[in-house]
Each structure stands twice: as C-alpha cells, then as structure tokens.
Amino acid sequence: MKPYPAPVEGLRVEMAPPLLRITLDRSHRRNSLTDDIVLNLIDNLEAASADEHIRAVLLDSVGENFCSGFDLAGRAGDGPRPRPGSIARRMPYLVNRLIPVMLEVQVPIVGAVRGWSVGLGFSLVLACDFAVVAEDARLRAPFTAMGITPDSGMSWLLPRLAGVARAKQMLMLGEELSGATAAEWGLVHRSVPEDQVTAEAELLADRLAASATVAVGLAKTLIHRGSGRSLAAHMEEEAFALELSARSSDFRAWSQAFKERRPPEFTGH
C-alpha cells in the first residue's frame, strides 16, 4: 500500500475508515492552493485509492469559501522572476496531475462546497464525483477576464458537463454561476441551503462508503473512459469490469441477501 504523505500547512487529513476526510484549511487566503497542498492532495488521493480500508473521500473546507483557486500571489513572493516557460514546466507535475487523479482513482469523492469556488477551485468541484453545493455558492472561471486562458482541465470538464454553449458562457464571457444554477445545469450533484451542506455531504459520503466498493469504483472508471472510446471498445471494457465485479465478495453478499429477501451488507471487497 502506498504510504500517506506527511501533513502540510493548509491541508487537514482525517483517517476515519471507511472514510477519508480531506479539508482545505487556509481560510485567511480563501482556501487558495499552494504547490505543497496540490502535491499533498495528489499523494493522499493515490494512497486512499490503494488503501483497502478507505471506501470514500470527503473533500471540504473551513471558513466561508471552498477554494479561491491557486495562490498566484503567494507563489510570486519576493523572489526573482522565473525564466520564461515556468508555467509549462510546472503544470504537468502539479494541477495537471491533480484533476486526472481525482477522475481516475477508484474511490468516490464527495465535495462539500460553500462560498467562492474560483478557477482551480471550480475545477475541484467539477472533478468530484458528487458535489453538494450551497444554493448561494459562487462558481466562476475568471481566466479570460484576467487576460489568460483556462487551465487545470477546465476547458475539458465544462463542455462535457454543461454543454458547449454554456461552457462558452462561463469560459469566454467569464460569467459567474450560483450553486442553485449549477445544480440545474447538472454540473453538481445537488444544491442545498448553506447550513445543510456538511450534513448532506456526510450522508452521501457515508452511503458511498457502505456501497459495493469494487463495483462503484469500476463504474466510475467506465464513465470517465467512455467518451474517448468507440461503443465496441467500451463494451469490451464493460465486460471486463463485469467479470471483476462478479467475482467480488460484495456481489456474493448481494446474491445471498437476495435469496434471503433482506438488504445486503457490503464489506467493500
């Protein structure tokens, strides 16, 4: 099993098997992310994916805001200006790893989202398998308004989730979205009043942690891979996933429970 990384400033990680709770903890900077936090998030998610005891991840934050994106001001600091090409050199090892890891790990990720989710913070919301968002949350991809182009997979995620026309509305016009509208558009799992976000996200994370973990993880993989394959190739992958899940203890538990006319008790194996 891959070891969990040492904690870094601005990120809290709580092991409560079958749940892993990761909390953004930089409220004084609207929970903006640093290089260290991004790398720690990647390592924690990869470790959780390999941990037989973890069956779901809950991603939340302290304070009024979920995440205001990457802390560009903090990175700039007072040091010398980096040489040209710095962005292209850094991104493959930082945010360009984080979003794919969130999509690829076979552990469901639930986000609890309040306040601002901007730039990379918005990408985190979109990359969660299920995001419970406050109705008055503020979601925005402000790149073009700043004179730059989208990053962190935003221009890949938004068109697939919202459609091309709505993606242009957000990415080219820089328009802000409320949590309620994001739910109407199908960008997030659901929106609720702000004071219900934590409870609803925890209930959903607990539900996923008690589910048939092998089948849920493989279903997630099939969903994310499907858009890039032909139907025939995808159905071959479905058959392989079905073979694996049919050999799981959870499927046997369901079969026995079905015979006995009772709800199954899944162990995640």
Backbone angles phi, psi at 136, to 5 degrees: -100, 15
Confidence (pTM): 0.93
Question: Tens digit of pLDDT for each residue in 16-73?
Answer: 999 999 999 999 999 999 999 999 999 999 999 999 999 999 999 999 999 999 987 7
Residue segments in the chain with a per-residue pLDDT below the cut of 70: 74-93
How many Å apart are CA 185 and CA 126, to the nearest integer?
A: 12
Question: Using N-to-C axis directions, what is the helix angle for 231-246 and 249-259, rounded to 10°?
Answer: 70
Q: Which two tokens stand for residue 211?
A: 């589910």
Which pLDDT score, from 0 to 100, does residue 80 have?
67
- Look at residue 229 and give its three-state secondary structure: coil
Distance CA 236, CA 150 (A): 34
Amino acid at 173: L
Which pair of tokens denotes residue 216? Answer: 């849920």
Return the half-sphere exposure (C-beta side, CA atoms, 13 A cut-off) of residue 15.
Answer: 12
State how far the Cα of 217 lies from the Cα of 31, in Å rounded to an integer: 29
**Measured in whole angstroms, how far is the alpha carbon of residue 61 from the centre of its chain?**
13
- pLDDT on residue 91: 63
Which amino acid is located at 169 in the chain? Answer: Q
pLDDT digits (tens, 9 = 90+) for 178-196: 999 999 999 999 999 999 9
In this structure, what are the phi and psi dihedrals at residue 233, rounded to the nearest 5 degrees?
Answer: -65, -40
